[in-house]
Structure 1
Amino acid sequence: MSSGLELVGRDSGIPLSEAVFRSLCQALCAGLYRPGDRLREEEVAQRLKVSRTPVREALGRLMAKGFVEPASGRGLVVRSLDAAEVLELYAMREILEGAAARLAAQHASQPEIDALTDLENAFEAQAGDTAEMARLNRAFHETIFRAARNRYLDSALQELQDGIALLGITTFSIEGRPATAAEEHRNLIEAIASRNPDHAEKLARIHIQEALRSRLRLLQER
C-alpha cells in the first residue's frame, strides 16, 4: 500500500535524493510499505513527482541499510525481520534508550520537556489512527534522544528507529497497547522533568520491554 507517499523535507534545502530517502523511510515507518511489498523506481518517481535519478540513489541507500533487497524480476522488495533479529533490535533499544532517558533527565531543557508533553497529548488524541500514533511515538522518542545531548547516541538510536520500519504493522494495533504506552510515556516524562536519571532509565527500559512483548505477540499472530 503506497497511496499516501509524499515528498518530505524538500523545502528545507536538503538534496532531492535525501528528501526522497526520508520520504521512503517515513512511508515504511507509517506502514505504507510493508515487508514483502515491492518498491519500483519508476512508480516511486511518479508518486513523488521527481526524476528517477534521486529515487535510484534513495533506493540504493535503503538497500545498503538492509531495508530492501532485490526482488525476482524488476524492483526491490521490503525486507522482513525474523524473530532473532527482532530480539537483537529490541535488546539494543532497551540499552540505548535507557541511556538516552538517563541523560535526558540530566540535560533536557524545559522547552524539550514541554515538547514531550505536547507530543504525548497529541498521541493520546489519535484514537484509532495507528499510523499517526506511530509517527508521534517516533517524534516523542526522538525528542528524548536529542535531549540526551550526545550526538553518537542519537545517531545510533536513529538507526534503530529506522530498523523498526521493517517490522511492519505497529504494535499500537494491539487492543490496549496505546493506553499502556501512554501511561509509560507519562511516567517517563515525569521522571525526566523531576531530574531523576536512575528512575528515567528504569522506566525507559521497561517501556521497551513492554513494546517487545507486544511485538512478539504480533509475530506469533503473523
Structure 2
Amino acid sequence: MASKPAQGDAYSLILEAIDVGVYRPGDRLVESELAERFGVSRTPIREALQRLETQALLTRDGRSLIVASLDHNQLSELYVVRAELEALAARLAARHASAEEVRVLQDMVQDDRKLMDDPSALARANRRFHHQIHLASHNRFLVQQLDLVHRSMALLATTSLAAEGRGGDALAEHDAIVRAIAAHDEAKAAEALRTHISKAFMTRLKLDAARVEGSL
C-alpha cells in the first residue's frame, strides 16, 4: 500500500494550489476539504496550514483560515525587495553561471515563445526562468530568500503576463537578461533584471487600477 504524503508534501500541494489560482485571496481553506482533495490525512493538512499561517500566506477570519491578500503598500514593499534580490541574482549569475546554465536559460527563452497565447502556462514558465537565474547565482542564501519572496507572489490573484502585450515584452526582457549573463556583464544583467521587475510592477498596478475602476 502506498504511503500518504508527509506534512511537507501537504504544504507543497496547498502552496501550489494557491500559486496556480485554485485558491485565491479571500478563499476559505477547510481541513476536511483539503484532505479529501489531496488524499492526505487531516493531521499533515493541519500542520501545513499552521506553517502557511506562520508565513503569513494564510490569515484568520474569525475561526476560519483564508488565503491572505496584499494591500497596495504590501505589494509595493514586496516588489522593492524582489527587484533588489533578483538584480543581485542576475549579477551573480553573470559572474558564476556555467556555459551549460547559460544555455538552459537561452533555451527557456526560445521555448517560452510558444506559450504566448497561454498566460497561465507562460506564468509557470516565467517562474521556472527566474528560479533558474537564482540557481545560476550559486548563492544558497540568496536562493532561500528569493524562495520566500516568490511564495508571497503566490498571493497575487492574477499574473501581470495576462495584460495585453505584456507576454511579448517580458520575453524580450528575458532575452536581454540572458544576453547580459552570457556576456558576463554583471552591471548590465542586474539592471536588465531590475528593469524587468519594475515593468512587471507597473503592469500589475495598471491591472489593479482597471479592476477597481470597473467595480465602481
Please give the TM-score of this superposition, normalised by the length of structure 1. Answer: 0.89
What is residue 5 of structure 1 aligned with on the other side?
none
1:220 corresponds to 2:213: no
Q: Which runs of 4+ in 1 moved over 4 A?
A: none
CA distance in 2, matches of 1:70, 1:77: 6
What is residue 180 of structure 1 aligned with on the other side?
169
Q: Structure 2: where are the runs of 5+ without partners? A: 212-216
- Higher mean alpha-carbon deviation, 118-127 vs 200-209, is at 118-127
Shift of 1:58: 0.9
Picking from 66, 83, 98, the partner of 2:87 is: 98
Q: Structure 1: where are the runs of 5+ without partners? A: 1-10
Corresponding pairs, count: 209
Question: Residue 167 of structure 1: SS of its match in structure 2?
Answer: coil
1:29 corresponds to 2:19: yes
Picking from 15, 18, 23, the partner of 2:8 is: 18
Shift of 1:108: 0.6
Tell me how large the CA RMSD over aligned residues is.
1.7
Question: Residue 154 of structure 2: SS of its match in structure 1?
Answer: helix
Picking from 208, 211, 216, the partner of 2:200 is: 211
Tell me the amino acid that sits aligned with residue 100 of structure 1: A
Shift of 1:151: 1.1
Structure (1 or 2) with the larger CA radius of gyration: 2
CA distance in 2, matches of 1:32, 1:133: 17
Tell me the amino acid that sits aligned with residue 67 of structure 2: V
CA distance in 2, matches of 1:169, 1:147: 27
What is residue 68 of structure 2 aligned with on the other side?
79
Distance 1:124 1:113, change over 3 A: same
Preserved CA contact (<8 Å) 1:30 1:134: no
CA distance in 2, matches of 1:208, 1:89: 11
Question: Residue 77 of structure 1: SS of its match in structure 2?
Answer: strand
How high is the sequence identity, in percent, across the aligned residues?
40
CA distance in 1, matches of 2:203, 2:171: 14
Shift of 1:118: 2.6
Shift of 1:217: 1.2
Preserved CA contact (<8 Å) 2:116 2:168: no
CA distance in 1, matches of 2:112, 2:139: 26
CA distance in 2, matches of 1:130, 1:32: 15
Question: Residue 59 of structure 2: SS of its match in structure 1?
Answer: strand
Distance 1:19 1:119, change over 3 A: farther
Preserved CA contact (<8 Å) 1:29 1:134: no
Shift of 1:40: 1.0
Tell me the amino acid that sits aligned with residue 22 of structure 1: S
1:39 corresponds to 2:65: no
Picking from 108, 114, 132, the partner of 1:119 is: 108
Tell me the amino acid that sits aligned with residue 205 of structure 1: R
CA distance in 1, matches of 2:180, 2:12: 32
Please give the TM-score of this superposition, normalised by the length of structure 2. Answer: 0.91
Preserved CA contact (<8 Å) 2:119 2:159: yes
